[in-house]
Chains A and B, each alone.
Chain A
Amino acid sequence: MTKGNVAITVERCKGCAFCVEFCPTKVLALSPAFNSKGYHPPHVVAPEKCNGCDLCGMFCPDFAIHGWREKKA
């Protein structure tokens, strides 16, 4: 499987959890931590499962997350 990565801009997150719900490989979960606005941002719980499809980036209404695929060497 293609190796993917996901990057989260914690401070923009409003905790809607769309990325957590619609991640096809269930890479994300809502973090128990808060950001400065008091929302629970997502964090990566299963990085090895991420295939970089960027569906989280398409769903995120706050432009706070995106995924990408690592180029094969």
Chain B
Amino acid sequence: MSELVSLHENPTEQFLRTDRMPHIWCPGCGIGTTVNCFTRALLDSNANLDKVSVVSGIGCSGRVAGYLNLDSFHTTHGRAIPFATGLKLARPDLDVVVYSGDGDLFAIGGNHFIHAARRNVDIKVICVNNLVYAMTGGQTAPTTPGDALTSTSPYGTFEPSFNLPQLAEAAGAVYVARWTTYHVRQLAKSMFEMFNKKGFAFIEVLSPCPTLYQRRNKMGDGMETLRQYKELSKRKDGASTSEVGLTRDGEIVVGKFVDRDRPDYATLMKAHYQHTMGDKYVETGAIICQ
């Protein structure tokens, strides 16, 4: 078997920092599955890998940046999007991907998310949504659906949760999709489309958290959750994002909800400064190259 392995390498292998494997994600966690889809999408898109950079925040999915053998940066909590925005402004030639979790992007970094979407900064955001703050011990997150038990809500949550696709659309994202870790092919295709989209693109990926969410809620292991995704998910491309909210055991609407075009931040900035400053305006990319 070892000969076969050397002859045919796993397509993900070339993207990994293999000295850091095996990774620390729990058995049954779906983050590795999303990384598979991401690497397949990168392979399909024929992207120049020297020009792809991955930015992560804090959390389980924040570790993706550390495991991917691309130019990657592991930022402070919630600040993946500000870092990515700065990176994109300074190096417009890069494809900047933000790979982070629901707690990092929508709780601690929620403010940054809505403003980056409003400005339509040309970054790609992948949110691995496991419905709790997993790495810190399973506390209630803004995405935890009603009546779930978490370490900070032993009698169940009662807060309404965020509907992430609706939030992204309302804030101005040009591409919004939701998949689960069961929909691997669809997710890879969606990520591929995202790379070809100019502007703020957002994909929510529902992922099991067997250790801190499923276990506490007696929902079985990672496999049980994937079976549940298979059973409960319903593909509705172009569905109104106001109707795709998640409940604890209800239907999971997946698909591509928004695909539209708006001028992105860099285009608007360039047009505005060229209009107001005329010949004095020098683009940031040009300054750095000198």
Contact = CB atoms under 8 A, between A and B. Distances in A.
Contact of B28 (A16, A63, A66): A16
A39 B27 contact: yes
A34 interface: no
B33 A57 contact: no
Interface in B270-285: none
A56 to B, nearest CB: 10
A29 interface: no
B40 interface: yes
A11 B5 CA distance: 13
A67 to B, nearest CB: 9
B10 A14 contact: no
Interface residues of A, number: 27
Contacts of B30: 61
B8 A61 contact: no
Given A39-B27, A63-B21, A57 B8 contact: no
Given A39-B27, A58-B184, A62-B22, A21 B223 contact: yes
A8 interface: yes
In the complex, which of the residues B13, B36, B185, B227 has the most CB atoms of chain A within 10 Å of its own CB atom? B36
A11 B36 CA distance: 18
Contact of B32 (A8, A39, A63): A63
Contacts of A55: 184-185
B185 A62 contact: no
B32 A62 contact: yes
Nearest to A15: B27
A16 B223 contact: yes
B214 to A, nearest CB: 12
A17 B22 CA distance: 17
A9 B32 CA distance: 15
Interface of A: 5, 7-9, 11-12, 14-18, 21-22, 37, 39, 54-55, 57-63, 65-66, 68
